[in-house]
Amino acid sequence: MKTVVIPLDSAAPDKEALAEAARVLRRGGLVAFPTETVYGLGAHALDAAAAARIFAAKGRPANNPLIVHLADAAGVQQVVANWPEPAERLVKRFWPGPLTLVLPRRDTVPDVVTAKGPTVAVRVPAHPVAQALLRTADVPIAAPSANRSTELSPTRAEHVLRSLDGRIEMLLDGGPTSGGIESTVLDLTTTPPRLLRPGPISIAELEAEIGTVARVCSSTVAARNGLHPLPSPGMMPRHYAPRTPLECIETGKEPECLASLLRAKRRIGWVTFAGPGERIVPSEVHLRVLPSDPAGYAAQLYAVLHELDVAGLDHILVTLPPDTEDWLAVRDRLRRAAHS
Which amino acid is residue 293, in one-letter code? D
Q: How far is the CB of 289 from ligand TXA (least distance, A)?
A: 25
Of the pair 286, 336, the CB lying nearest Mg ion is at: 336
Query: Phi/psi at 40 (nearest 5 deg)?
Result: -105, 155
Q: How far is the CB of 46 from ligand TXA (least distance, A)?
A: 16
Of the pair 86, 231, the CB lying nearest Mg ion is at: 231
Q: How far is the CB of 286 from ligand TXA (least distance, A)?
A: 27
Q: Tell me which residue of 75, 51, 78 sits closest to 65, measured CA to CA.
A: 51
Cβ pair 139, 26 in contact under 8 A: yes
Residue nearest to ligand TXA (CB): 234
Of the pair 178, 319, the CB lying nearest Mg ion is at: 178
How far is residue 64's CA from residue 273's CA, in Å, rounded to a whole number?
33
- From residue 156, give the alpha-carbon distance in Å to each of 178, 213, 285, 306, 310: 10, 32, 25, 10, 14
List the single partner that 320 binds among Mg ion, ligand TXA, none, CB under 5 to 8 Å by kind: none
Of the pair 111, 247, the CB lying nearest ligand TXA is at: 111
How far is residue 98's CA from residue 81's CA, in Å, rounded to a whole number?
22
Residues that bind Mg ion (CB under 5 A): 145
List the single partner that 96 binds among Mg ion, ligand TXA, none, CB under 5 to 8 Å by kind: none
Q: How far is the CB of 21 from ligand TXA (least distance, A)?
A: 15
Of the pair 145, 319, the CB lying nearest Mg ion is at: 145
Of the pair 145, 244, the CB lying nearest Mg ion is at: 145
Number of residues that this document lists for the chain: 340
How far is residue 64's CA from residue 117's CA, in Å, rounded to a whole number?
10
Q: Does the CA dihedral 153-101-96-5 come out positive or negative?
A: positive
List the single partner that 121 binds among ligand TXA, Mg ion, none, CB under 5 to 8 Å by kind: ligand TXA
How far is residue 141's CA from residue 26's CA, in Å, rounded to a whole number?
10
Q: How far is the CB of 332 from Mg ion (least distance, A)?
A: 13
List the single partner that 35 binds among Mg ion, ligand TXA, none, CB under 5 to 8 Å by kind: ligand TXA
Q: How far is the CB of 264 from ligand TXA (least distance, A)?
A: 35
Cβ pair 157, 171 in contact under 8 A: yes
How far is residue 40's CA from residue 174's CA, in Å, rounded to a whole number?
12
Residues that bind ligand TXA (CB under 6 A): 35, 37-38, 40, 64-67, 98, 100, 102, 114, 117, 119-121, 123, 125, 143-145, 182-183, 185, 196-197, 232-234
How far is residue 256's CA from residue 108's CA, in Å, rounded to a whole number?
57
Cβ pair 140, 110 in contact under 8 A: no
Of the pair 155, 272, the CB lying nearest ligand TXA is at: 155
